[in-house]
Chain A
Amino acid sequence: MEQEAERSTNIVPSTSDLDPIARVRKLLFRQMLVGVKDGRFFLGNFHCIDKQGNIILQDTVEYRSIRRSSPSPTEQRCLGMILIPSSCRTSCHVDCSIEEQLSLIQLKA
């Protein structure tokens, strides 16, 4: 929690100064939640990304719903290191505090 607070104070003031690459670099090792086309989600530590947008996560857990219709209970499974090709990625979220979220959103505007 304290770490979380620290991180956010680190990032918030610098958001506008840093270029996107440096900001993504700051996301390394943090919990990332990636959704893929078939409806599954992968929660793992952000390890690497390349020019094409392929992401590598470490210590990943796979979440999938048991039924097609939502809401439905989910099933989990540990997968370790995975590579998510950008072509099948549908969403990507990072675990952060609310202030940090605001600073991340700024980019959209």
Chain B
Amino acid sequence: MIPAEFDYIAAFIKRRSGIVLAPDKTYLVESRLLPLAHQLGLAGIKAIVAGLRRGDATLQRLVVEAMTTNETLFFRDRLPFEQCERLILPQLIAACPPGGTIRIWCAACSSGQEPYSLAMLIEECGFAAQARFEIIGTDISQAMIARATDGLYTQFEAQRGLAVRRLLQWFAQEGTHWRIAPQLRQRVTFMPLNLLEDFSRLGHFDLIFCRNLLIYFDQPTRAALLDRLAAALTPGGFLVLGAAEAPDRLSDALARHRDEPSLIVRADNPISARPTRPLAGIED
């Protein structure tokens, strides 16, 4: 691949997905796009670039999808799920009006392990009996959304992060694969969505998971997305980012949770570490 081709692809990927490809990522582009070229019967990177320039929409989509990193696992990092069980979901349930629905969004859900983990938690902890839940999983990759919708995992994927008792409880074996239980499958709605595009039509959410995506973006893209996610939160809502993904300085709209610094809430939430109004009787 010649430098001009890399530059074209990097600029295209950045514009379409926000993902930044540093100049030392030539090997990554080649390792992802050469198999795609082969699969499509194209001669190589040069032919891919020509197709992108021509505006071939299918090719454009496939190239973006090929450049995404879809690494994920059930109950990844554990802590956020523990926080959901101990703090977030009980609080959302307590605040939920009768007949209301608690809305959860996994904003870059890859092959679905994250929203399904939340669905398991909701069933296992008896939360499902206490409130109505809606879980939406979105990702820029249509291939990943198709996999998530299918809910079929390899033995490898099923073992990573899932205790064996959970595996037996929530999956049915299909040969060497494991299929998610219909009860969990039905709990989650999947749809393709590019987070660079407008998502206001999805409405507001009480809990947003947006994990292990911001790391691929540059600072302005990150900040802009965080602002728009903040605008999609309900007043008492929570935002969960990837481990160590939260920027040091959050925008004015967001703040850290007073007691759980890894959790993000709206700045106007009284449980935030940054009270917007001085507390009664306290002057500075």
A and B co-occur in one complex: no
A residues apposed to B, CB below 8 Å? none
